[in-house]
Amino acid sequence: MDYFRSLRGKNVLVTGASSGIGEACVKAFAREGANLIFCARNIDKLKYLENEITDKYRVKTFIGKVDVRSLEQVNHFLASIPDELSKIDILVNNAGLALGLEKFYEGDPDDWDTMIDTNIKGLLYFSKNVANIMLKNNTRGHIINIGSIAGLGAYPGGAVYCATKAAVRILTDGMRIDLVDKPIKVSNIAPGMTETNFSNTRFHGDNERAKKVYKGIKPLSAEDIAEIVLFTAKLPEHVQIGELTVTPLHQSNSMVIFRENE
Ligand code: NDP
């Protein structure tokens, strides 16, 4: 028998699926035959992705335009999931962002609010509601949070973003503790530098500045992280990854990076 469990027919919910790691996770789970429920604010990108995976993998899907900062929108989305997909097996809490790289005393409080509301509160809104769905259905479930190595230690200009990812780390632990007597696993996947729209968003659309982040280093790709999320989800029922950090070859932590030709 295969060591890994099959995800065929499982219902997987991915937040922040319109780009980067979330989009790659949707494709990776669809390839395994899982049904996909996914959301973000950019509904056009979600529709495009939905067409792509239904054509290619013939899996069932449900998409929604959701701002994870709104508890009302999160509740409405979860309540709209059709019956055949409503028993969620796996939640990937991926929606998140960094905004700005200023010293905290020069930072924009609006950026702080957006990061805290998205990365912490949005993740909590989905986790509480989906955990209750899993508990009601007696599902052998899994909540997979996309944290960051930024949650292990701060870097210059990253105080608030790093704090939100430290919160994801501790929330993951807290959820695992609260669910210890239930058949639900909780994992924190903490990537290092991954080339997605992340830096374009951080620098408010300054693409030149975003490109420089990855100068002289081969960063991780969204697909690299999606394969690790998939691996985490496919482990046997009794095996639970608490936390997994992953960096490119030439990155040791969020401060130590070796760049070629520098
Ligand atoms: P992208 O910018 O490519 O993707 C971010 C996704 O989050 C988009 O789909 C975006 O969708 C969604 N999102 C942002 N805000 C909201 C919101 N309020 N409501 C719903 N969805 C939202 O970046 P990544 O793929 O890199 O980021 C994914 C996760 O990975 C984040 O949590 C990030 O912190 C984490 N991470 C990334 C690293 C990296 O180097 N790239 C390293 C470590 C962690 P839309 O705008 O359509 O709403």
CA of 97 to the centre of ligand 1 (A): 5
> What is the residue whose two structure tokens read 């982040």?
213
C-alpha R_g of the chain:
18
Give residues with Cβ within 8 angstroms of 159, minimum separation 6.
Answer: 103, 104, 107
Please give the model's pTM, rounded to 2 decimal places. Answer: 0.98
pLDDT at 134: 98
pLDDT at 262: 67
Verify whether ligand 1 is closer than 6 Å to residue 248 (CB atom): no
| Known active-site residue 161 | yes
Verify whether ligand 1 is closer than 6 Å to residue 86 (CB atom): no
Q: Which atom of ligand 1 is nearest to the CA of 194?
A: 40
In the numeric block, which tokens belong to residue 3? 């060591």
Verify whether ligand 1 is closer than 6 Å to residue 247 (CB atom): no
pLDDT at 261: 79
Do residues 221 and 195 touch, judged by C-beta distance below 8 A? yes
Q: What are the sequence ranges of the domains in the chain?
A: 11-246
CA of 168 to the centre of ligand 1 (A): 14
Do residues 143 and 130 touch, judged by C-beta distance below 8 A? yes
| Dihedral sign (CA 79, 147, 59, 69) | positive
Verify whether ligand 1 is closer than 6 Å to residue 251 (CB atom): no
Q: Whose CA is nearest to atom 38 of ligand 1?
A: 194
Taking the CA atoms of residue 256, residue 110, residue 77 and residue 221 in that order, the dihedral angle to the nearest 10 degrees is: -20
Instruction: Choose which residue among 49, 66, 155, 194 to substitute to test ligand 1 binding: the one with the highest number of ligand atoms within 8 A of its C-beta.
Output: 194
Taking the CA atoms of residue 185, residue 227, residue 198 and residue 61 in that order, the dihedral angle to the nearest 10 degrees is: -70
CA of 118 to the centre of ligand 1 (A): 9
In words, the CATH class of domain 11-246 is alpha beta
Amino acid letter, 36: L
> What share of residues in the chain are helix, strand, coil (percent, to 5)?
45, 15, 40
In the numeric block, which tokens belong to residue 190? 């903490």
Q: Whose CA is nearest to atom 46 of ligand 1?
A: 41
Single out the residue of 135, 136, 11, 22 nearest to residue 82, CA to CA: 11
In the numeric block, which tokens belong to residue 128? 């509480």
| Active-site hit among 103, 165, 212, 214 | 165
CA of 15 to the centre of ligand 1 (A): 9
Verify whether ligand 1 is closer than 6 Å to residue 67 (CB atom): yes
| Known active-site residue 165 | yes
pLDDT at 1: 73
**Residues, the chain:** 262
Q: How would you write the pLDDT of the chain (262 residues) with one tens digit per residue?
A: 799 999 999 999 999 999 999 999 999 999 999 999 999 999 999 999 999 999 999 999 999 999 999 999 999 999 999 999 999 999 999 999 999 999 999 999 999 999 999 999 999 999 999 999 999 999 999 999 999 999 999 999 999 999 999 999 999 999 999 999 999 999 999 999 999 999 999 999 999 999 999 999 999 999 999 999 999 999 999 999 999 999 999 999 999 999 997 6
Distance CA 11, CA 247 (A): 29
Verify whether ligand 1 is closer than 6 Å to residue 114 (CB atom): no
